[in-house]
Structure 1
Amino acid sequence: MDKKQPHPLFKLATELGPLMVFFIANAKFHLFVATAAFMVAVVVAMIASYAVTRHVPMMAIVTAVVVLVFGTLTLVLHDETFIKMKPTIVYLLFAGVLGGGLLFGRSFIAVMFDQMFNLTPRGWRMLTMRWAIWFAAMAVLNEIIWRTQSTDFWVAFKAFGMAPLTMLFAVTQMPLIKRYHLEPATLEQSEAEAGDVSKG
């Protein structure tokens, strides 16, 4: 499938747009209205992403599925616990997939991030391990926030805390990516592209 490269602002809008909708709807109405709006916004963002790029990132698909499932439970049971636990479930899924892959000598971080770079097997292994730990830590942080703080605080943290923290963490990984970066057209690159971390 031929993937078109979207404008960075479009990519940012599809990733952060649903969070902004969630925050604004919660501020104007309440969490249940915000949950319904969030579900619609996530679906719209996926459709827009596919319409423009003919591709939807794996992370976006997984996140959308969990949002729809837990959002539906929140609305049907009228229990805000489910939507608050959604980030925890998503982060634990990502951490589990990455950590489980490493146990079998595979790195799935390339699939998650649409493989924006080429690394040696050792580089993939280290990057995957760091992201697995990060996702697990974010799951714990989300649990602490929603269980100890108000709903409005949690919504603000979800909208303005989680994404910036994750972006900041991604930036701190650039030295590792540069250190283990591979030049194009090498046999080792082919192994890295396949996510093989059992070598190197």
Structure 2
Amino acid sequence: MLDRRLLLEFLPGLVFLAVNAVSTLYVATGAAILAAMLAVYLRYRIDGQLPFLAISTVLLSIVMLGAGLVQDDERFIKVKPTIGGVSFAIILAGGMLARPSMLQRSMGYKLEMIPTGWTVLHIAWIALALTLATLNELVWRNTSTDAWVTYNALSGPVTFAIYFGITYAVAWWYWDEDEEEEEAA
């Protein structure tokens, strides 16, 4: 059975896809923002913590929707995943310099890896964020709006799976067996 949190991650993309099928890109974006705000609220109710990445995505979406409406240009909406991906990569790169690193701080309670593993995980996530930003640019510039909407909505679950797969592989490869033995003792 899927975790409630996982379903909430996919909610905005599904709303975006469904509303775009019956309305405009602007209305679909607004509906997805409302769905994302609902998902943030429900995640807070479930976890007791604010999901800052989701909040930053909502804020970026609001800004880009507003700019698109003011300029009457849907490219602002289409470029939002690119800006988000590049921003995420920059934040991850900066987070690599912190001690403990950003990912270690946010995931270290679940993953016990040697220091090299955290560096590899940061680099892998940065590479994936930049790859996804590049893919978004290629898709929105070379396909119809409807094709881009479908890509954008369906890329969410795929992206989640890829980040999970990368994290699993890196954690498996760089697992800190000494830490595990110390806890068992």
Superposition TM-score tier, normalisation by shorter sequence: 0.7 to 0.9
Deviation of 1:111 (Å)? 5.0
Q: Which residue, 144, 147, 169 being the options, matches 1:150?
A: 144
Runs (5+) with no aligned partner, structure 1: 1-6, 188-200
Richer in helix (by share): 2
8 Å contact from structure 1 (residues 57, 112) kept in 2: no
Q: Which residue, 179, 187, 191 being the options, matches 2:173?
A: 179
TM-score (norm 2): 0.86
Distance 1:111 1:33 in 2: 37
Residue equivalent to 2:64: 70
**1:55 pairs with 2:49:** yes
Cα 1:169–1:101 shift into 2, 3 Å:
closer
**1:131 pairs with 2:105:** no
The runs of at least 4 aligned residues of structure 1 exceeding 6 Å deviation read: none
Deviation of 1:112 (Å)? 5.8
Deviation of 1:113 (Å)? 5.5
Distance 1:126 1:116 in 2: 17
Q: How many residues align?
A: 181
Distance 1:152 1:161 in 2: 14
Q: For 2:141, what is the secondary structure of its paired residue? A: helix
CA RMSD of aligned residues (A): 2.4
Cα 1:46–1:113 shift into 2, 3 Å:
farther
Residue equivalent to 2:26: 32
Q: Which residue, 90, 93, 98 being the options, matches 2:92?
A: 98
Deviation of 1:77 (Å)? 2.8
Distance 1:94 1:112 in 2: 15
Cα 1:19–1:119 shift into 2, 3 Å:
same
